[in-house]
Structure 1
Amino acid sequence: MDKKYDFRKTEKELQDLWEEEGIYRYQNGRDRKVFSIDTPPPTVSGKLHIGHVFSYTQAEMIARYKRMRGYDVFYPFGFDDNGLPTERLVEKDSGIRAADMPGSLFREKCMETIAAYEADFKSMWQRLGLSVDWSLQYQTVSDDTRRISQRAFLELVKQKRAYRKESPVLWCTQCRTSIAQAELEMKEQESVFNYLAFEAEGETLLIATTRPELLYGCVCVFVNPEDERYRHLAGKKARVPLYGFEIPVLTDEQASMDKGTGAVMCATYGDTADTAWCEKHGLPYKRVICPDGTIDREVPLIGGMKIRQAREAILQKLEKDGALVRREEMTHMVAVHERCGTDVEIIPSSQWYIDVLSEKERFLTAADEIRWHPAHMKSRYISWVENLKWDWCISRQRYFGVPFPVWYCKSCKEPVFAEEDRLPVNPAEEGPGKACRCGCREFIPETAVFDTWATSSVSPLINARYKEADDRSGEILPMGMRHQAHEIIRTWAFYTIVRSLYHTGNIPWKDIMISGFVLAKPGEKISKSKSNGGLSPIELIETHSADAIRYWAAGAKLGTDTFFSEEDLRPSKRFLNKLYNASRFALMHLEDYRPGEGTEPVLLPVDLWILERVKETVTDAEALLEEYEMGQARKIIDELFWEDFCDYYIEIVKERLYQPEKHGAGERAGAQYALYHTLLGILKLYAIYVPYITDYIYRSYFREFEKEVSLHCLLWTAEKPDSQLLAFGSHLKEVIAGVRKEKTERQESMKEPIPQLVITCPGKLMKYYKKSGKDIMACTSAEKIIFRN
Structure 2
Amino acid sequence: MTEIYLLHLFICKDRINLIQMTEEMLTKTFDPKTIETQLTAFWQDNNIGSPKGDGQPYCIMVPPPNVTGSLHLGHALQHAIMDTLVRHKRSNGYQVLLQPGTDHAGIATQMVVERQLNAQNIRKSDLGREAFIQKIWEWKAQSGGKISEQMKQMGVSVDWDNERFTMDPEFSKAVSHTFIQLYEQGYIYRGKRLVNWDTVLKTAVSDLEVINEERQGQIWYIKYPVGDTFITVATTRPETLLGDMAICVHPEDKRYQHLIGQQATVPLCQREIPIIADDQVDPEFGTGCVKITPAHDFNDYDIGKRHQLDMLNILNDDGSLNHNCPSEYQNLDRFSARKQMIKDLTSLGLMEKVEPHTSAVPIGDRTNTVLEPYLTDQWYIKMDALAEAALEDLNNGSLKFVPDNWKKNYQMWLDNIQDWCISRQLWWGHQIPAFYDENGNVYVGTSEEAVRKAHDISGPLTQDNDVLDTWFSSALWPFATLGWPNNSSRLDTFYPNNLLVTGFDIIFFWVARMCMFGKHFTQRMPFSTVYVTGLIRDEFGQKMSKSKGNVIDPTDLIEGATLEDLIEKRTHGMMQPKMRDAAIKATKKSFPEGISPHGTDALRLTLLALSTHTKDINFDLNKLRSSRNFCNKIWNAARFLSQQDAASGQVDTLITQALNHQVHQWITGLEKHLNDYRFDRYAQAIYEFFWYDFCDWHLEIAKVSNETATNAERMAHLNQLFDKILIVMHPALPFITEALWQDKHGSKASICSESFPSLTEFPENAAAFKQFNALKTLVSGIRNIRSELNIPPKATLDLYCIKDELKLTETFMDEVKSLAGIEAIHNTGTMPKTCCAFVQSNLEIGIDLSGHIDVSQEHQRLLKKIAKLEQNLSKLVQKTSNPKYQERAPESLKKSDASAMRALEDEKTQLQAYLDIISQLDT
Q: Does 1:692 align with 2:741?
A: no
Higher alpha-carbon deviation: 73-82 or 14-23:
14-23
Displacement of 1:631 after TM fit? Answer: 2.2
CA deviations over 1:208-267 (Å, ceiling 9, x no partner) = 111110111111111222222222222221222232221111121212222222221101
Distance 1:725 1:220, change over 3 A: farther
CA deviations over 1:367-404 (Å, ceiling 9, x no partner) = 4432222223333333433444x311111110111111
Q: How does 1:142-541 map to 2 (within 5 A)?
A: 142-300=168-326, 301-368=328-395, 369-388=398-417, 390-411=418-439, 413-419=440-446, 431-432=449-450, 434-435=452-453, 437=455, 439-470=457-488, 472-520=490-538, 525-526=543-544, 533=551, 537=555, 540-541=558-559
Displacement of 1:629 after TM fit? Answer: 2.2
Displacement of 1:82 after TM fit? Answer: 4.2
Q: Does 1:588 align with 2:643?
A: yes
Distance 1:110 1:619, change over 3 A: same
Q: Distance in 2 between matches of 1:571 and 1:788?
A: 36
Q: Distance in 2 between matches of 1:212 and 1:535?
A: 44
Distance 1:322 1:703, change over 3 A: same
CA deviations over 1:680-721 (Å, ceiling 9, x no partner) = 3332232112211111212233679xx964255321534684
Q: Distance in 1 between matches of 2:477 and 2:803?
A: 62
Contiguous gaps of at least 5 residues in structure 2: 1-24, 561-596, 828-841, 845-923
Displacement of 1:556 after TM fit? Answer: 0.8
Q: Secondary structure at the match of 2:281?
A: coil
Displacement of 1:532 after TM fit? Answer: 5.5
Displacement of 1:740 after TM fit? Answer: 0.7
Q: Distance in 1 between matches of 2:291 and 2:62?
A: 48
Contact residue 195 and residue 376 of structure 2 kept, 8 A: yes
Q: Who is 1:647 aligned against? A: 696
Q: Who is 2:758 aligned against? A: 717
Give, as a single letter, the amino acid of the residue that structure 1 aligns with 2:84.
M
Q: Distance in 1 between matches of 2:826 and 2:480?
A: 69
Displacement of 1:449 after TM fit? Answer: 0.7
CA deviations over 1:250-285 (Å, ceiling 9, x no partner) = 121212222222221101333211111122221112
Give, as a single letter, the amino acid of the residue that structure 2 aligns with 1:393.
C
Q: Distance in 2 between matches of 1:575 and 1:774?
A: 29
Displacement of 1:466 after TM fit? Answer: 0.5
Contact residue 611 and residue 617 of structure 2 kept, 8 A: no
Q: Secondary structure at the match of 2:195?
A: strand
CA deviations over 1:341-377 (Å, ceiling 9, x no partner) = 3322222222111222454444444444322222233
Q: Please point out which of 534, 541, 546 is paired with 2:600.
A: 546
Q: Secondary structure at the match of 1:25?
A: coil
Give, as a single letter, the amino acid of the residue that structure 2 aligns with 1:137.
E
Q: Secondary structure at the match of 2:35?
A: helix
Distance 1:512 1:536, change over 3 A: closer
Give, as a single letter, the amino acid of the residue that structure 2 aligns with 1:405.
P
CA deviations over 1:285-305 (Å, ceiling 9, x no partner) = 212122111111441142211
TM-score by length of 1: 0.89
Give, as a single letter, the amino acid of the residue that structure 2 aligns with 1:494.
A
Q: Distance in 2 between matches of 1:566 and 1:109?
A: 41
Give, as a single letter, the amino acid of the residue that structure 2 aligns with 1:748.
I
Q: Distance in 2 between matches of 1:20 and 1:372?
A: 36
Higher alpha-carbon deviation: 751-760 or 332-341:
751-760
Q: Distance in 2 between matches of 1:471 and 1:318?
A: 70
Contact residue 48 and residue 752 of structure 2 kept, 8 A: no
Q: Who is 2:34 aligned against? A: 9
Q: Secondary structure at the match of 1:484?
A: strand
Q: Does 1:604 align with 2:653?
A: yes
Q: Please point out which of 49, 64, 79 is paired with 1:41.
A: 64
Q: Does 1:624 align with 2:673?
A: yes
Contact residue 76 and residue 554 of structure 2 kept, 8 A: no
Q: Does 1:753 align with 2:796?
A: yes
Contact residue 38 and residue 482 of structure 1 kept, 8 A: yes
Displacement of 1:69 after TM fit? Answer: 3.1
Give, as a single letter, the amino acid of the residue that structure 1 aligns with 2:77.
F
Displacement of 1:166 after TM fit? Answer: 2.4
Give, as a single letter, the amino acid of the residue that structure 2 aligns with 1:370.
L
Contact residue 353 and residue 395 of structure 1 kept, 8 A: yes
Q: Does 1:67 align with 2:90?
A: yes
CA deviations over 1:735-786 (Å, ceiling 9, x no partner) = 211111111233334553332253866x6xx377754333333322432265
Q: Secondary structure at the match of 1:472?
A: helix
Q: Who is 1:117 aligned against? A: 143
Aligned residues: 759
Distance 1:409 1:521, change over 3 A: farther
Contact residue 32 and residue 70 of structure 1 kept, 8 A: yes
Contact residue 60 and residue 82 of structure 2 kept, 8 A: no
Distance 1:31 1:759, change over 3 A: farther
Give, as a single letter, the amino acid of the residue that structure 2 aligns with 1:779.
L
Higher alpha-carbon deviation: 473-482 or 566-575:
566-575
Q: Distance in 2 between matches of 1:394 and 1:26?
A: 35
Contact residue 605 and residue 771 of structure 1 kept, 8 A: no
Higher alpha-carbon deviation: 451-460 or 612-621:
612-621
Distance 1:359 1:281, change over 3 A: farther
Higher alpha-carbon deviation: 35-44 or 675-684:
675-684
Q: Distance in 2 between matches of 1:150 and 1:464?
A: 16
Q: Does 1:572 align with 2:599?
A: no
Contact residue 217 and residue 267 of structure 1 kept, 8 A: yes
Displacement of 1:524 after TM fit? Answer: 5.3
Q: Please point out which of 770, 774, 779 is paired with 2:819.
A: 779
Q: Please point out which of 75, 87, 112 is paired with 2:110.
A: 87
Q: Distance in 2 between matches of 1:132 and 1:679?
A: 27
Q: Distance in 2 between matches of 1:490 and 1:621?
A: 32
Q: Distance in 2 between matches of 1:142 and 1:527?
A: 32
Give, as a single letter, the amino acid of the residue that structure 2 aligns with 1:349.
T
Displacement of 1:459 after TM fit? Answer: 0.4
Distance 1:748 1:767, change over 3 A: closer
Q: How does 1:18-37 map to 2 (within 5 A)?
A: 18-27=43-52, 31-37=54-60
Q: Secondary structure at the match of 1:195?
A: strand
Distance 1:471 1:687, change over 3 A: closer
Distance 1:333 1:360, change over 3 A: farther
Displacement of 1:21 after TM fit? Answer: 3.8
Q: Who is 2:885 aligned against? A: none
Contact residue 708 and residue 714 of structure 1 kept, 8 A: no
Q: Distance in 2 between matches of 1:760 and 1:336?
A: 76
Displacement of 1:730 after TM fit? Answer: 3.2
Contact residue 646 and residue 716 of structure 2 kept, 8 A: no
Q: Who is 2:9 aligned against? A: none
Higher alpha-carbon deviation: 308-317 or 51-60:
51-60
Distance 1:93 1:486, change over 3 A: farther
Displacement of 1:119 after TM fit? Answer: 3.4
Q: Secondary structure at the match of 1:676?
A: helix
Displacement of 1:191 after TM fit? Answer: 2.1
Contiguous gaps of at least 5 residues in structure 1: 420-424, 657-662
Displacement of 1:12 after TM fit? Answer: 2.8
Q: Who is 2:887 aligned against? A: none
